[in-house]
Chains A and B, each alone.
Chain A
Amino acid sequence: MLTAEAAALAVKVGKGIVKLSRRLDLILAEKEVVEEPLAIPVPNVKLGPTQPQMRKALRQLLKDTENESPDPLGEDRKKILETVEENPQNPLLFAFLKKYLPEQALGRVLSLEGDFITALREQHPEIAADADLRVTAFYVKAGRDFRNKDYSWRIALTVVDVLAEFGGENMALFTRDERVQKIVGAILQRFGEADLQKTDSTRELLRTALASSLNAVFEVREAYNPENQWIKALLDALATARDALPEEEREDFLVGLFHGKGYPPLVSAVLEVAAGRLDEDDAVNFKDVAADLLQETAVMIKANPTFEDFFEDHWGDLLRAGLRSVEAHGPGLLRRESPLLKKVLISVAGELATEPDHKLLSTDALVGMVEAAVGAVAANPELVKEKVDEKWLAELMGSVAETLARKGIRNTFTRQGLENLLRDTLATFARHPELIVEEPGLARELLGDVLESLSRVESFVAEDLATAAVGGALSALADNPSLVKFRYPELVVLFAGKIGSLVKEKKLTRVQGSEVLAVVTSVVGESPEVFLQIERDLANWAVDAVIEVSHGNESGLLAGATLARVLRNVLSALAQSGKAALKSHPTEDLTGHLMSLLNAGLARTEKELGNLIHLPILPVILGDLVVSWARGEIAVVDPEDDNFRRLFSQLAMRAYGRET
Chain B
Amino acid sequence: MRNFRGFVFCLLAVSLVSAMAGCTTKQEVARVVAETNAALVSPYLEEPGKAGMTIAWKEPIERIDRLIAQYPDEKKLVNHLRLRQAMLLTVYEQGNLAEERWKAVDGNELTTERDKSLHACWPHLVWWYKRAGIADPLDFQEMEKAEEALGGLDEILAPLAPGSDTKKYLGTIRAQIALKKANDSDVSSSEKKARVQEFLVDSLRSYVSVFQDKDVEWIRENRIQRSGELLSISDFRYRVWLGEMIKAYRETASALEMEPPWEPQWIQNLNMNP
Contacts and interface: CB of A to CB of B under 8 A. Distances in A.
B257 A52 contact: yes
B240 A45 contact: no
B94 interface: no
Interface residues of A, number: 81
A145 B41 contact: no
A586 interface: no
Contacts of A3: 3
A108 B251 contact: yes
Contacts of A45: 132-133, 176, 179-180
B213 interface: no
B36 to A, nearest CB: 8
B180 A47 contact: yes
Q: Chain B CB within 10 Å — which of A30, A133, A147 has the most?
A: A30
Contacts of B180: 45, 47
Interface in A32-57: 32-53
Q: Chain B CB within 10 Å — which of A29, A36, A131, A145 has the most?
A: A29
A131 B53 CA distance: 12
Given A112-B172, A144-B112, A131 B45 contact: yes
A653 interface: no
A48 B244 contact: no
B157 interface: no
A29 B26 contact: yes
Contacts of A17: 14-15, 18-19
B114 A141 contact: yes
A102 to B, nearest CB: 11
B255 A52 contact: yes
Contact of B233 (A28, A30, A127): A127
A460 interface: no
Contact of B77 (A33, A50, A115, A123): A33
B223 to A, nearest CB: 10
A13 interface: yes
Contact of A88 (B22, B186, B234): B186
Contacts of B54: none
A6 to B, nearest CB: 4
Given A13-B11, A42-B241, A113-B44, A135 B114 contact: no
Interface stretch (B96-104, B147-155, B158-166, B262-270): B158-166
B50 to A, nearest CB: 12
B129 interface: yes
Contacts of A303: none
Nearest to A122: B227
A112 B164 contact: no
A144 B2 CA distance: 53
A135 B45 contact: yes
A127 B76 CA distance: 34
B38 interface: yes
Contacts of A110: 176, 179, 244-245, 248
A494 interface: no
Given A116-B240, A119-B240, A51 B185 contact: yes
B184 A143 contact: no
B187 interface: yes
Contacts of B111: 34, 145-147
A144 B33 contact: no
B114 A138 contact: no
A307 B224 CA distance: 65
Contact of A115 (B13, B14, B244): B244
Contact of A43 (B22, B132, B251): B132
Contacts of A26: 25, 71, 74, 77
A1 interface: yes
A1 B77 contact: no
A116 B244 CA distance: 9
B41 A33 contact: no
A356 B11 CA distance: 64
A245 interface: no
Nearest to B184: A90
Contacts of B224: 119, 123
Contacts of A34: 76, 80, 111-112, 115
A374 B29 CA distance: 67
Nearest to A113: B44
Contacts of B18: 14, 17-18, 21
Contact of B169 (A49, A140, A144): A140
A607 interface: no
Contact of A143 (B21, B74, B165, B237): B165
A129 B22 CA distance: 36
A112 B240 contact: yes
A33 B80 contact: yes
A520 B213 CA distance: 76
B217 interface: no
B77 to A, nearest CB: 4
Contacts of B237: 116, 120, 137-138
Contacts of A94: 136-137
Nearest to A107: B135
B51 interface: no
A244 B25 CA distance: 45
A48 B241 contact: no
A654 to B, nearest CB: 92
Contacts of A178: none
Contact of A44 (B115, B133, B160): B133
B166 A143 contact: yes
Contacts of B26: 25, 28-29, 32
A140 B165 contact: yes
Contacts of A36: 30, 33
Nearest to B10: A10
B213 to A, nearest CB: 20
A646 to B, nearest CB: 98
Nearest to B31: A32
A34 B21 CA distance: 23
B40 A138 contact: yes
B135 A29 contact: no
A659 to B, nearest CB: 86
A91 B139 contact: yes
B84 interface: yes
Given A134-B41, A140-B169, A143-B166, A123 B137 contact: no
A142 B113 contact: yes
Contact of B240 (A1, A10, A51, A115): A115
B6 interface: yes
A165 B242 CA distance: 55
A46 B233 CA distance: 26
B37 interface: yes
A21 B22 contact: yes
Contacts of B2: 1-2
Contacts of B81: 33
30 contacts: A2-B2, A2-B10, A3-B3, A14-B18, A17-B18, A18-B14, A18-B18, A25-B26, A26-B25, A29-B29, A33-B33, A38-B115, A39-B41, A43-B132, A44-B132, A51-B185, A110-B176, A115-B241, A116-B240, A122-B227, A124-B233, A127-B233, A134-B45, A137-B233, A137-B234, A137-B236, A140-B114, A143-B114, A143-B164, A144-B161
Given A21-B22, A39-B36, A53-B255, 8 more contacts: A2-B7, A6-B6, A30-B74, A34-B111, A50-B184, A106-B135, A113-B44, A143-B114
CB-CB nearest 6 A-B residue pairs: A14-B14, A21-B22, A2-B6, A143-B113, A10-B10, A39-B37
Interface of A: 1-3, 6-7, 9-11, 13-15, 17-18, 21-22, 24-26, 28-30, 32-53, 88-91, 94, 105-108, 110, 112-117, 119-120, 122-124, 127, 131, 133-147
